[in-house]
Chains A and B, each alone.
Chain A
């Protein structure tokens, strides 16, 4: 049985050391597209945390309970996972729209974009590292990786959007304006996050 410290280390590692965006290069399209304003970055970040956590748990469960016993895990891995994620996003959109219209108006446009967010599918694939173990422990680790990854993604997005709002006012060469300088800034941010290596 893993100790609490193991779980904390996993959380810390996926949130900071192997940050999904800055170290693992996942979720770049929304990272560049949505961080022009901090308000949209925060909205997208929270939506991603929510979907990532649920998707991690659901996909891991189906992998362990259905695919592995049937020996189909290599063949149907990708197809089933993406189906789960797409259905989950659709379901979440419906629930949010009904339960909290203001929240839906704030997050609504980002939810369908999360289906093709490579960060979500990427995390579900990373969770497969826990498949050789007990189901309960693996499920918990998947959940932690989902939540932690999402939080790390949110952190990176907030940092980036704050910087980009300032970058807009700077006198830059025309060719660097917009996406190129955003990438160079991300490089600096990634460099800073490299400092976490060795902490996990």
Chain B
């Protein structure tokens, strides 16, 4: 049970798509112009991920290894088609905003990657949990990117304008950063978010690496230990001699102003 929980949690912590695993970048930039699109895409991918993971895991013993990739792709494509037809029927607006990217879920590296790396080697329940975790992680990542883009770029949240900022619009010099909802803005936002995640990750790695390194550096090759000892002894002797000399110099010295004779 603990391992199941681990599989589930890693999907949105250490191995979160986009920021942890560098997968699933294409849809991220294209559909995150606003929050509803981002969440919609995430939900669609979640469905495909879970469904394909389960089916592929259930069929894993019957798929010949040489043609496994085409087999996975056909399974995934089937579920993507289901999603596309469902969206076209029940959420046509979302279908239109997402455009070709619903179809492109089939070549989303996350889906194929998890199928190849996990579902084809593991049982049904762990695969389902893994798919669920990754899907939730993907939704969270998309929420982050589309949140930044929509709030800063269009001053709205889920299509509803932010009222305070709405009043500011029109004031000279105060405008939403519209480039963020266009192509260059997408790259910019993702670049800086990736840098932020890299910073957090490197702090953690640096701590462990430093401990590693410190432990190793502490073990230096020996260099002339007798020499070092000898030098230390010489230095100590020198210091002693100098102190004695100083004492001698001062010894039978001038009488102190108080008139007291030194011992």
- Residues of A at the B interface (CB closer than 8 Å) are 22-29, 32, 74-79, 82-83, 86, 115-118, 121-122, 125-126, 173-176, 178-184, 186-188, 190-191, 193-194
- Given A22-B183, A78-B84, 10 additional A-B pairs, CB 8 A: A24-B30, A27-B26, A28-B26, A116-B107, A118-B107, A173-B195, A174-B199, A176-B198, A182-B191, A194-B184
- Residues of B at the A interface (CB closer than 8 Å) are 22-23, 25-27, 29-30, 69-70, 73-74, 77-78, 80-81, 84-85, 88, 100, 103-104, 106-109, 112, 179, 182-188, 190-192, 194-196, 198-199, 202
Nearest chain-A residue to B183 (Cβ)?
A190
Docked-complex contact A187 and B107, CB < 8 angstroms:
no
Residues from chain A with Cβ under 8 Å of B199 in the complex: 174-175
Docked-complex contact B107 and A183, CB < 8 angstroms:
no
Docked-complex contact B202 and A116, CB < 8 angstroms:
no
Docked-complex contact B187 and A187, CB < 8 angstroms:
yes
Contact of B80 among A28, A78, A186 (CB under 8 A): A78
- Shortest C-beta distance, B84 to chain A (Å), equals 7
Docked-complex contact B188 and A183, CB < 8 angstroms:
yes
- Shortest C-beta distance, B185 to chain A (Å), equals 7
Whether A174 touches B202, Cβ cut-off 8 Å, given contacts A22-B183, A79-B81, is yes
Residues from chain A with Cβ under 8 Å of B30 in the complex: 24-25
Nearest chain-A residue to B99 (Cβ)?
A125
Contact of A29 among B109, B179, B196 (CB under 8 A): B109
Contact of B26 among A118, A184, A194 (CB under 8 A): A118
Whether A79 touches B77, Cβ cut-off 8 Å, given contacts A116-B112, A190-B187, is yes
Whether A126 touches B186, Cβ cut-off 8 Å, given contacts A25-B30, A86-B70, A116-B109, is no
Docked-complex contact A191 and B184, CB < 8 angstroms:
yes
Residues from chain B with Cβ under 8 Å of A184 in the complex: 187-188, 191-192
Contact of A23 among B69, B183, B185 (CB under 8 A): B183
Docked-complex contact A26 and B26, CB < 8 angstroms:
yes
Is chain A's binding surface mostly helix, strand, loop or mixed?
A: helix
Nearest chain-A residue to B22 (Cβ)?
A179
Residues from chain A with Cβ under 8 Å of B81 in the complex: 75-79
- Shortest C-beta distance, B209 to chain A (Å), equals 12
Residues from chain B with Cβ under 8 Å of A180 in the complex: 191-192, 194-195, 198
Residues from chain A with Cβ under 8 Å of B25 in the complex: 28-29, 32
Residues from chain A with Cβ under 8 Å of B190 in the complex: 183
Docked-complex contact A78 and B184, CB < 8 angstroms:
no
Number of A-B residue pairs with CB-CB distance less than 8 Å in the complex they form? 120
Distance in angstroms between the alpha carbons of A25 and B25 in the assembled complex: 9
Residues from chain A with Cβ under 8 Å of B74 in the complex: 79, 82-83
Distance in angstroms between the alpha carbons of A175 and B206 in the assembled complex: 12
Nearest chain-B residue to A76 (Cβ)?
B81
Distance in angstroms between the alpha carbons of A116 and B69 in the assembled complex: 10
Residues from chain A with Cβ under 8 Å of B77 in the complex: 78-79, 82
Looking at A77, A180, A194, the one whose CB has the most chain B CB atoms below 10 A away is: A180
Docked-complex contact A25 and B26, CB < 8 angstroms:
yes
> Can you report 27 residue pairs joining A to B where beta carbons are below 8 Å apart?
A25-B27, A25-B186, A28-B29, A29-B25, A29-B109, A74-B85, A75-B85, A77-B81, A78-B77, A78-B80, A79-B81, A82-B106, A83-B74, A86-B73, A116-B109, A118-B108, A122-B104, A125-B100, A125-B104, A174-B198, A181-B191, A183-B187, A186-B191, A187-B184, A187-B186, A190-B187, A191-B179
Nearest chain-A residue to B196 (Cβ)?
A175
- Shortest C-beta distance, B194 to chain A (Å), equals 4
- Shortest C-beta distance, B136 to chain A (Å), equals 22
Looking at A28, A78, A83, the one whose CB has the most chain B CB atoms below 10 A away is: A78
Nearest chain-A residue to B186 (Cβ)?
A25
Docked-complex contact A188 and B184, CB < 8 angstroms:
yes
The 8 closest A-B pairs by CB, nearest first: A183-B191, A187-B187, A180-B195, A175-B199, A184-B191, A25-B30, A187-B188, A190-B184
- Shortest C-beta distance, A185 to chain B (Å), equals 8
